[in-house]
Structure 1
Amino acid sequence: MADRDVLDVPALTATLDGKYAEVRALVRSNLAAHAGILEDQRTLPRDEFRERVLEVVQEMAATGQTGFGFPAEYGGGGDVGASVAAFETLALGDLSVVVKVGVQFGLFGGAILQLGTRPHHEAYLDDLIHGRLLGCFAMTESGHGSNVQALGTTATYDAGTGEFVLDTPDDRARKDYIGNAARHASHAVVFAQLVVGEESHGVHAFVVRIRDDRGEPAPGVRIEDCGPKIGLNGVDNGRLWFDSVRVARTDLLDRYAAVTEDGRYTSGIENANRRFFTMLGTLVQGRVCVGGAAVNASKVALAIAVEYAQRRRQFGNPGSGTEEVLLDYGMHQRRLFPLLARTYALHFAQERVAADLHAAFSDIEEEGAAELARRALESRAAGTKALGTWHASRTIQECREACGGAGYLSVNRFDALRADTDVFTTFEGDNTILMQLVAKGLLTDYKDSFEDLDQIGLVRFVASTAVETVLERTNARSVLERLRDVVPVGGRTAEEVPDLLDSRYQLELLTWREEHLLASLARRLKSGIDAGTDPAEVFSRCQDHVIGAAHAHVERIVLEAFLDKLATVEAGPNRDALKLLCDLSALSGVEADRGWFLEHGRLSGARAKAVTAQVNELGRRLRPLAQQLVDAFGIPREMLRTELLEFSGS
């Protein structure tokens, strides 16, 4: 690309922004108008910063950017895709604001919208959309995080008064880490075990008032501040206890289940497990949003690190009298460019899952097809959220180190980026648990039993049914033998070596790894059961394999999303640059796992060395384009006002 080094940056930004360019432009404008929040984050005491964050959130709510996902009849925009785009873009700024928005409008508001019915919508949505009613999402407990089905909080129906009585039986069942709870929320959506008579019907959600009009805890409610955290100290995380707190029967969010006045439990979903997973599935938007926010935080770190490396000089040829800029060093390119390529790849994967989410919320397909699409969405959202948040942690740390001591100063944003995104790997679902969910979906192929299986049930299912299904699916794709280095790939003769830059070859390589891991996992689970080992022990022994299969699956769908996007871009310098990024993302991933490919005969030793050489060459080819590629992220300059960039001369 030596003769075409100049990219059309606005057009590349438009490619990244997609159909919601106007929404993203509104959020960027709001970020620039509130750029002082970055200084506030560093200088204000915690309590004052919390109030500042709330003020910014309410000001942004007044512009409409936080209400895109709610129905227009309540003052929203009626567009879930726009809501996700707005949230992702907000992550270019202060992340306490992002999380506060997510808690208020995504979790609290989303629960009322998706789990409630019209009376709840009419009672709450208009006020919460406009920031007049502040709430929190009280699911997690000190003793129960990812295992939501085992929550300890109870909501017992009192038929004599027509009320539910909420209780916290012990400190393990206290609601913990609840954003907005310590200071600002007047209401909470509380998840509790619903008990009617002597029978428990599992976890359900209730709207509960936790503060009175003066801001004091409501009768029977105890509130405690979680205290300082690693990051996100602009968010008031708190703990909640309930001691015989009474709420009206109509405060049960009853889209999927209800209790009649005389104490009869009714639900349109007969199976309790399926009902539970259906309720949680409606909240998948949170995972999609967190994944997108993490990718955008990575963009900020890369924009700072790349621009700094374009300016900062160090060492060089002693005879030249001029020091070299950091970005001209091969190792610096090695540090930053695969992460840059990966960020583009994850951006397009995120765009795909957001589009699937939007389609799911406006789905008019027949019930069976819609159910299948929803399950596939849950799996994709879990996987991309995990990879996106892990990527943010790695990218921000590497960019910090690439900026040396300057990157360690708070004024240069890396400390806040690193600390504030750290929790992204564990909220909205711990990443390791989410990857197990992905693997479960692969092993059951989204069959009806998908939602009803716990870990033990999954092992038994695989042992009795799924091995043959998995093997049939693997063999049908016929990739096992086509990927030898000396066999035909994409129409080549047997003497030809596959081109490492052939996207078909890259995709087939990742597909083979995925299918091999999945098939061998199924066999391993079955052999454990056949040997008489306890199913729980079988699963425990195979968990590393479970995660490996899920990771390989998500890696493959990330590459597919990038290739699909490439197919929509017109030929020219921008498309050429995106192809370089796509190649680098794919091959750096292969290089990182080259030991596995060598062990399984997919790469020879010479071929593995060729992959490394090609990664280096792609870095050199991207070097002239690096600044334009980060400029295309469209980060407002106000978000990049760092001392590091102001004083590093070229």
Structure 2
Amino acid sequence: MVQVTLEVGPLRAFLDGRWAGIREEVRAQIRASELLRPTTGLSVEDYRARVLEQTRMISETRSARLFFPREYGGESDMGGALAAFETIALVDLSLLVKIGVQYGLFGGVIRRLGTERHHQRYLRAAMTMELPGCFAMTETGHGSDVQSIRTTATYDPSREAFVIHTPDDDARKDYIGNVARDGRMAAVFAQLITGGEGRGVHVFLVPIRDERGRPCPGVRIEDCGLKGGLNGVDNGRLWFDQVRAPRDALLDRFGTVARDGAYSSPIANETRRFFTMLGTLVSGRVSVAGAGLSASKLAMTIAVRYGLTRRQFRAAGSGQEVIILDYLQHQRRLLPALAMTYALHFAQEALVESLHRAADGDSADESEQRQLETLAAGLKAVSTWHTTQTIQTCREACGGAGYLSVNRLTELKADTDVFTTFEGDNTVLLQLVAKGLLTNFRDEFGSMDTVGMVRYVADQVVGAVLERTAARSLAQWIADLMPGSEEEANLLDRRYHLYLVAWREKHVLEAAARRLQKLMANGGDPFTAFNVVQDHLLLAARAHVDRVVLEHFTAAIDRCAEPVTKALLDQVCDLFVLSLLERERAWFLEHGQLSAARAKAIITNVNRLCRELRPHARLLVDAFGIPEELLPPLVREAEAARVGR
């Protein structure tokens, strides 16, 4: 138990991490600028205009330059860019999404899928907002299944141009940020056709508006209208009616078309080429996970600080009403969620470090790239689900005051709701994680559809799962972790925590593989087999993410050099993992890894940790470093009233 006086400085510095200077630079800009303040009550048009003005302001700062290569005026600092974006997200998530579309998606696809001529022509203009852009991938009929989109790009060798076409309304580009009002060029995902043969999905840079803001010939634009949140972003729809784009409009890093229409690619397999292209855009998922965590931190700060000022009901023999955070149930509402926010922060930090290492490495290790893609998919899903649940909890914890728009919680709830489905539907992303866990042979899987993948699992991979996958590689590590029998293990022993979550991951993954094998051995249809086991695969993916998050939290504590801060983080980690075990105790009981007595002891220890961490709740949220200028009246007025009493 932490018993000494704590200061927020060391903990904030530790949380800010490698890019602390950039985070503080953005905080200083927020404090200095009235433009970077939350607003309510604007019309949709005024809100969009304000967000565009904010975006142009950001384009003049270092935050924009961080994402882009040095040779085009940037700083080539992917980790720094993500740290800046996470901090900007505290201002307004519409602003975060707007700059994410401009820099992360539009600029990012040019950088990662284009070649030098595209970089020279467009990157600086994208960075400075001279060329507002869009990322036109999703269609009305296809969101998650990008490989099946139906917009076409047919090469015409007589004109040395591609003909971009929307065959019907189901193939229109939909929900595209920056389209309805501001975008002038779109990165259009389309099925490439050369010589009458389909070559799969590629990306083309297509002008959609002229310099006066009028739609280009053959381009039809429609506003998506009022949304459930993020109304500062101008989402829209696009149709292309035989629109011609020059041959160099193709972003051709992974596939090029010669003047005569001959197609060539360094990756022969079409499906593998497609997934390689998408893999280069992993930063979008990392950004969404980080933005969701920023929203969680803001919501937690509001709810905890309100909970430290709001009083209700008098205790017997007391003349004062009780501070609501002194009630155990209020602690249980907020503090386990705060502990998980901390855990996800350190997992996100590790993910950003991995992305930063890979960002400029065109010849990056293939295995490391796959691990990065798997972790990004898993953390994006778990982090944004956590965001959705946490903001709702914080809203309820603030009562009616939390329902006022000016107090930001309803805005956060509305704006983050879509985070669970954009940049990848969370359920689909967890299936990608499970796919990565089933085998080390991702190359074979990457070139197969679902039917082929399941047949391969049934024929070859089950043995590999037991011998060579993450599950098998955990086996000796798990044995080394177990500190004796369950009765001998200390409930607060970190090795015991790691053992339990690793054992769960291994057990669930092996069981899922065996179910697939059994279904196929009994003559089952491959698609049906995969569908029947889908729930098991999703559980395996979630168990994997839980284990990885705990590992990263543990590693962060191990590298913390300041003893008092380290002791506090150790307690927060205890609360995180015991809350996880409490949530999953039925599973552990069913599988013989917890006794009934130990399951009850977990509940007792969660209660104890909530009580012990309650005196440090303010420090734990202050360490997030959210500028006071961004906190709502709910916090400021309640604290002023308390001081005045």
TM-score with structure 1 setting the length: 0.96
1:438 alignment counterpart:
433
Counterpart Cα distance in 2 of 1:84 and 1:476? 32
Distance 1:319 1:525, change over 3 A: same
Aligned-partner residue type, residue 381 of structure 2: A
Q: Which amino acid aligns with 2:592?
A: G
Q: Determine the C-alpha separation between the residues in 1 that align with 2:434 and 2:403.
A: 38
Residues of 2 paired with 1:489 and 1:113: CA distance?
47
Q: What residue identity is the alignment partner of 1:7?
A: L
Please point out which of 482, 491, 497 is paired with 1:489: 482
| Letter aligned with residue 189 of structure 1 | A
Q: Distance in 2 between matches of 1:2 and 1:147?
A: 50
Question: For 1:101-149, what per-residue CA distance to the aligned partner results, in whole angstroms no more than 9, with x for missing partners?
Answer: 1000000000001000111111111111011110000000000001000
CA separation of 1:362 and 1:128: change in aligned 2, threshold 3 A: closer
The gaps in structure 1 that reach 5 residues or longer are none
Alignment of 1:608-623 (within 5 A): 608-623=599-614
Question: Residue 225 of structure 1: CA displacement?
Answer: 0.1
- Aligned counterpart, 2:537: 546
CA contact (8 A) 2:152 2:191 kept: yes
* Counterpart for residue 109 of structure 2: 111
Counterpart amino acid of residue 126 in structure 2: L
Say if 2:478 and 2:503, in contact at 8 Å, map to a contact too. Answer: no
Q: For residues 647 and 331 of structure 1, what CA distance do their matches in structure 2 show?
A: 21
Q: Give the whole-Å Cα distance in 1 for the aligned partners of 2:518 and 2:229.
A: 45
Which of the residues 365, 373, 383 maps onto 1:388? Answer: 383
Q: Distance in 2 between matches of 1:440 and 1:3?
A: 46
Q: How far did 1:3 drift?
A: 3.2
In structure 2, relative to structure 1, the CA distance for the partners of 1:137 and 1:475 (3 Å cut) is closer
Write the deviation string for residues 620-644 of structure 1: whole angstroms up to 9, x where unpaired.
1101111001000000000113234
Report the residue type matching 1:559 in the other structure: L
**Contact kept? 2:218, 2:241, Cα under 8 Å:** yes
Query: Amino acid of the residue matched to residue 587 of structure 2?
Result: W
Q: Supply the distance in 1 between the matched residues of 2:478 and 2:103 (Cα, whole angstroms).
A: 50
Q: Distance in 2 between matches of 1:476 and 1:249?
A: 48
CA distance 1:211–1:573, change in 2 (3 Å): same
Distance 1:295 1:495, change over 3 A: closer
2:87 corresponds in structure 1 to: 89
- Note the 1:90-489 alignment, pairs <5 A: 90-363=88-361, 370-473=365-468, 474=471, 477-478=474-475, 489=482
Q: Which amino acid aligns with 1:403?
A: C
On the 8 A contact 1:35/1:639 being kept in 2, the answer is no
Distance 1:470 1:460 in 2: 14
Q: Equivalents in 2 of 1:86, 1:446: separation in Å?
A: 36
Given residue 354 of structure 1, which amino acid in structure 2 is its aligned partner?
V
Among 587, 591, 596, the residue aligned to 2:582: 591
Structure 1 residue 326: Cα displacement: 0.7
1:475 to partner: Cα distance: 5.2
SS state at 1:324 partner: strand
CA contact (8 A) 1:232 1:420 kept: yes
SS of 1:203's partner is: strand
Q: Distance in 1 between matches of 2:518 and 2:263?
A: 42
Measure the CA separation in 1 of the matches of 2:33 and 2:636. Answer: 20
Q: Work out whether residues 374 and 436 of structure 2, in 8 Å CA contact, stay in contact via their aligned partners in 1.
A: yes
TM-score, structure 2 as length reference = 0.97
Structure-2 separation of matches of 1:281 and 1:221: 29
Determine the structure 2 residue equivalent to 1:31. Answer: 30
Asked whether the 8 Å contact 1:141–1:172 carries over to 2, the reply is yes
Q: 1:95/1:338 Cα in 2 relative to 1: closer, same or farther (>3 Å)?
A: same
1:455 Cα deviation (Å)?
2.1
Q: Deviations over 1:525-546 (max 9, x none)?
A: 1111111111111111111111
Secondary structure of 2:523's aligned partner = coil
CA-based RMSD of the aligned residues comes to: 1.6
The separation in 2 between residues aligned to 1:363 and 1:529, in whole angstroms, is: 41
Match in the other structure for 1:62? 60
Output the CA distance in 2 between the equivalents of 1:639 and 1:446: 48
Cross-structure match for 2:622: 631
Residue in structure 2 matched with residue 526 of structure 1 by the alignment: 517
- Seen in structure 2, the aligned counterparts of structure 1 residues 551 and 35 have a Cα distance that, compared at 3 Å, is farther
Distance in 1 of aligned mates of 2:283 and 2:324: 40
Please report how far the alpha carbon of residue 450 of structure 1 lies from its aligned counterpart in structure 2 after TM superposition.
3.5
Q: For the residues of structure 2 that align with 1:645 and 1:603, how far apart are their CA atoms?
A: 45
Deviation sequence 1:507-533 (CA, Å, 0-9, x none):
110000000000000001111111111
2:2·2:567 contact (CA, 8 Å) conserved in 1?
no
Match of 1:607 among 572, 595, 598: 598
1:411-452 Cα offsets, whole Å, 9 max, x none, are 110011000011111111000000000000000225421422
The code of the aligned residue for 1:430 comes to D
Match of 1:513 in 2: 504
Q: Are the counterparts in 1 of residues 79 and 355 from structure 2 also a CA contact under 8 Å?
A: yes
Q: How far off is 1:36 after superposition?
A: 5.0
Report sequence identity in percent.
54
Which whole-Å CA distance do the structure 1 matches of 2:367 and 2:472 have between them?
23
Please state how far the C-alpha of 1:322 moved relative to its aligned partner: 1.1
- Please give the alpha-carbon distance, in whole angstroms, between the structure 2 residues aligned to 1:447 and 1:97: 37
Distance 2:22 2:525 in 1: 53
Instruction: For 1:70-85, list aligned pairs within 5 A.
Output: 70-85=68-83
C-alpha distance 446-352 of structure 1, shift in aligned 2 (>3 A): farther
Range moving further from structure 2, 596-605 or 533-542: 533-542
Amino acid at match of 1:381: A
Q: Find the aligned partners of 2:478 and 2:610 in 1 and give their Cα distance.
A: 31
1:599 and 1:479 mapped to 2: Cα distance?
Answer: 23
Query: Per-residue deviation at 1:202?
Result: 0.3
Q: Which residue of 1 aligns with 2:491?
A: 500
Q: Which amino acid aligns with 2:576?
A: S
CA contact (8 A) 1:591 1:611 kept: yes
One-letter code of the match for 1:270?
Answer: A
Q: Say if 1:479 and 1:508, in contact at 8 Å, map to a contact too.
A: no
Cα distance in structure 1, aligned partners of 2:625 and 2:38: 21
Distance in 2 separating the partners of 1:393 and 1:158: 48
Give me the whole-angstrom Cα distance separating, in 2, the residues matched to 1:133 and 1:223. 18
- The amino acid that maps onto 2:17 is G
Is 1:641 the equivalent of 2:632?
Answer: yes
Query: What aligned pairs does 1:551-566 form with structure 2 within 5 A after superposition?
Result: 551-566=542-557
The CA distance in 2 between the partners of 1:453 and 1:334, in whole Å, is: 46
- Give the 3-state SS of the residue equivalent to 1:78 in structure 2: coil
**In the superposition, relative to structure 1, how do residues 280 and 421 fare at CA in structure 2: closer, same or farther (>3 Å)?**
same
Q: Which amino acid in structure 2 is aligned with residue 259 of structure 1?
A: V
Equivalent position SS for 1:647: helix
1:210: how far off? 0.2
Classify the secondary structure of the residue corresponding to 2:365: helix
- Check the 8 A contact 2:578/2:602 in 1, yes or no: yes
Post-superposition shift, 1:571?
4.6
Counting matched residue pairs gives 639
Contact 1:291–1:388 under 8 Å retained in 2: yes
Aligned to 1:3: 3
Contact 2:79/2:352, CA 8 A, preserved across alignment: yes
